[in-house]
Amino acid sequence: MKQIDAIDFSSWLARLVKSNQTKIYIKMSMPGAEVPVLEKMILDNTLELVDKYEVEWSDRGNPDISALRIYVQLMFDNRGFDCLYYTRLEDARNIFKTNGKFSNVDKYYDWKVINESDTYAHYSQRPDVIEPLYKSKQENN
């Protein structure tokens, strides 16, 4: 195993977000690392500090991490997020090449119909989760 210098994203995010006035949108494209980073955010209770996620699930075919990825995906729902739709990187590239808009990218609502690994899941936090989260955070400070 090779060590690299890195930041603790979860801790950094916790220091960044101070109130419910802060709106955070994260596009996560970290082939092979998205699952461990998101798992740590779940364990640290920082997943909910973000309003919207666009997560590239690059490891869908990896049996070694499949169970953990499914756990992380289920935790998005458990922590107050809805998966609005999925998009494919290739579809977005094709629209970009023609100077099209993102709204023209094909959206998929069934994970099973997309066979490739370059799939983005678009998550949005449910409104009923945001206010109680910040009230709880302020009471603990």
- Domain-located, residue 84: yes
- Domain-located, residue 34: yes
- Domain-located, residue 46: yes
Domain carrying residue 35: 22-140
- Domain-located, residue 109: yes
Tens-level pLDDT at each residue, the chain (141 residues): 777 777 889 999 988 887 667 788 999 988 878 889 999 999 999 998 899 999 988 776 777 888 888 899 899 989 989 999 999 888 989 999 999 998 999 999 988 888 766 788 999 998 776 555 545 554 554
- Domain-located, residue 16: no
* Residue 65 DSSP symbol: T
Look up residue 107 and give its amino acid: K
Which H/E stretch holds residue 113? Answer: none
Which residues make beta-bridge pairs with 108? Answer: 86
Classify 131 as helix, strand or coil.
Answer: helix
Look up residue 133 and give its amino acid: L
- Domain-located, residue 2: no
Predicted model pTM: 0.77
- Domain-located, residue 15: no
pLDDT value of position 2: 75
Number of domains in the chain: 1
Phi and psi at 86, nearest 5°, equal: -120, 150
